[in-house]
Structure 1
Amino acid sequence: MKREELLNQIAAYIPYNEQEAADRELILHWIQDHDDAFTRQNQVAHITASAWVVNRDRRKVLLVYHNIYNSWSWLGGHADGETDLLAVALREVKEEAGIANVRPVSPDIYSLESLTVDGHVKKGQYVSSHLHLNVTYLLEADSDEAVSIKEDENSGVAWFTPEEALAKSTEPWFVTHIYAKLIDKLKSSDL
């Protein structure tokens, strides 16, 4: 997907709530105004892609125990120059959870978020606080497929019920504003 196609997809996305409406505008303007929006070279904000991974009957959600955040969380990562964010989300799930068979429930954007990232050390280097301008996709995988950790990023991979997922995360803002929203969206849709 080309940059312009992604911009059109984001512009056409119908926000679920006020947070998504505000973040959609921020993401659109950031991409339009910054040639390096898709790379980590932009140290203020850059584009990321996340995956809300569910099993076939939508009764389980796949989470990883993220080492930097010390919390169970969704899967995803940096675009690193790629503008096909669905491909980024699929790649990240395969890398972070060791799952080979993951597929989009829909190729459409599932959610949009502007996420704060506190300063941290990654691979021995300090990374300053910044924003992840995030595009989320709803993906599906078989909850019986074997999973594996990616030692440099996570120390656990597991399936949880949606309620367990909310209880397992130790990031209150994510639980209240992101994960609960993603669960609510799934319950109210026919996906």
Structure 2
Amino acid sequence: MDGADYPASRATLSAHVTCSAAVIDRERRVLHIGHKVTGLLLAPGGHVEDDRTLLAAALREVREETGIPPGDLCLTPQFLGTPIDIDVHAINANPAKGEDAHQHFDFRFAFYLVPEQHPRLSLKDEEVAGARWLEFADVRSPSLRAKLLDAEDRGLDGQPEPVNASALIHDGHGRYLLHLRDHREGIWAPGAFALLGGGRTSQDTNLKATVRRELAEEAPGLEPTDLMPFAVEEATSVDGLAVPIQVYAGRWSGDPDTVDLREGVLLKWFTVDMLDRLRLSPGLGELIRRHAAEHPAPTGPPDGARPLPGDAPTGTEFHIVGVHLHLQDEHGRILLGLRHPDSTFAPSTWHFLAGHCEREAAIACLVREAKEEAGLTIKPEDVELVHTVHLVDSPNAQPRIGLVFQARSWAGNPEVLEPDRCVEWRWWKPQDLPAEVVPYTRRAIDGILDGRRYSEMGWGER
């Protein structure tokens, strides 16, 4: 890697990178081909050519040697786009090609076969002599076999499933938030309107965590509520792979111009009747129309609901409302949760049990969040508002109102029920709070101890 020559070039000696593929069917078997030169059964693979990535090189070799197109393959949730194995093996000298003895560093990628029935193979006659599907325990490479067997215990079962997720964001009144992507080669759906989202990483505990992370990375401040699975859509990656996408529908009604967009060109609201005028990513128009048909927009805002952004008085700034639970035990200790280190908000920091208000009353939201996050049962009549924090994180961020409620009684002991958000609950003495506390949480606790009902942050301190 430190040399001047390209490590994936066949001309780079005394070693270079090659790529191969472990193609896994639904019966947990791996495709092997007979290699005419060596007489061995091997996974499809070979030298890197003019390929975009090493993974693309593995896909090309599969197609050339077996006839299986990339669209019949998808990534596995256990390995995603990273190699399952890197094997180092010696290659004998080949005087006919002017090659001395050298080593191959073979990057092996795992793919699931998408069709339920095996596609008809079209073998490369000059290199390949037959093909066989072998059980994990019979895979010829010892290192690949060991890693496949280990991953089998972690769910490597040959059954394709989504490893990408996106957010279908609507305002509940017939508008859908679309993202105009950069018009550049090498990205998915360049120059088209699409949904925000992306691929799962090894740090994401589930696909809902993938959506939250992607939104935080691409559009900080955009935090839809009611995120629920809506549909699984099929797409194709830039390398031609099949990409099942789990689409989550969620509600948001803010001004997209206030979002700090980090990727793409713009965010904008559109109604269904405008879709035919736009260049959309494949299948998006049908997806939105299906959601609109299943969730018809009301003719006007529901009683008590806030008006649509376009109907609000000039200068109105919409706020995110969050509820927070200030819970004290018989010793006066306060309950705080340690946020997950990969959390998009305040990672590895202590915070109230909290959540964003959906279309619900604040106390109802608090009762729901306490049950969902920690298994605590709280009666609405046992709750009172003890502090309000009005804050803004930056000049362009959407303002927030944090309502802090205290429960006089509750049932249950705190449990970690959403480990992708909170990894621990702990009771703290107010005078011994940890250093890593969310700043506005500490501000609220100080205010409650001082008997103050209100504080501000980010507007000019009071």
Q: Does the TM-score normalized on the shorter chain lie above 0.5?
A: yes
75-84 or 61-70, which deviates more: 75-84
- TM-score computed with the length of structure 1 as normaliser: 0.68
8 Å Cα contact 1:110-1:136 kept in structure 2: yes
Whole-angstrom distance in 2 between the partners of 1:127 and 1:153: 18
Question: Residue 160 in 1 paired to residue 134 in 2?
Answer: yes
Which runs of 5 or more residues in structure 2 are unaligned? Answer: 157-462
8 Å Cα contact 1:50-1:137 kept in structure 2: yes
Offset of residue 66 of structure 1: 0.5
Aligned residue type for 1:56: R
Amino acid at match of 1:47: V
Shift of 1:92: 0.7
Partner of 1:89: 58
Q: In the aligned structure 1, how far is the partner of 2:85 from the partner of 2:4? A: 22
Structure 1 residues 81 and 131: CA distance shift in structure 2, 3 A: farther
Q: Which protein is bigger by CA-based radius of gyration?
A: 2
Q: TM-score, normalised by structure 2?
A: 0.30
Q: Is the 8 A contact 2:136 2:149 kept in 1?
A: no
Matches of 2:2 and 2:52, distance apart in 1: 13
Larger RCO of the pair (alpha carbons < 8 Å, separation 6+): 1
RMSD over aligned CA atoms reads 2.2
Are residues 1:147 and 2:121 paired? Answer: yes
8 Å Cα contact 2:93/2:99 also seen in 1: yes
- Paired residue for 1:3? none
Check whether the contact 1:76–1:93 (CA below 8 A) recurs between aligned residues: yes
How many residue pairs match? The answer is: 149
The one of 74, 80, 90 aligned to 1:103: 74
Q: Provide closer, same or farther for how the CA distance between residues 188 and 117 of structure 1 changes in structure 2, counting only shifts above 3 A.
A: farther
* Whole-Å separation in 1 of the counterparts to 2:92 and 2:52: 25
Hey, what's the Cα distance between the residues in 2 that align with 1:159 and 1:111? 19
1:91 is paired with a residue whose SS is helix
Matched, 1:65 2:49: no
* Aligned partner of 1:133 among 101, 105, 116: 105
- The gaps in structure 1 that reach 5 residues or longer are 1-30, 167-173
Deviation string 1:40-94 (CA, Å, 9 cap, x unpaired) is 111311111111111134x211000011110111111112354611101111111
Alpha-carbon spacing, 1:108–1:125, altered in 2? closer, same or farther (3 Å)? closer
Amino acid paired to 1:125: K
Partners of 1:180 and 1:88 in 2: CA distance:
22
Displaced runs of 4 or more, over 6 A:
none
Change (3 A) 1:184 1:120: farther
For residue 2 of structure 2, give the secondary structure of its aligned residue in structure 1. Answer: helix
Correspondence for 2:144: 179
Superimposed CA distance per residue, residues 11-60 of structure 1 (whole angstroms, 9 cap, x where no aligned partner): xxxxxxxxxxxxxxxxxxxx232432121111311111111111134x21
**Once the 2 structures are TM-superposed, how far is the Cα of residue 164 of structure 1 from its aligned partner?**
4.0
Which whole-Å deviations, capped at 9, do the CAs of 1:109-160 have from their partners, x for residues lacking one? Answer: 2112222112347xx5353221111211101224521112111211112222
| Corresponding residue for residue 53 of structure 1 | 23
Pairing partner for 2:6 from 5, 27, 36: 36
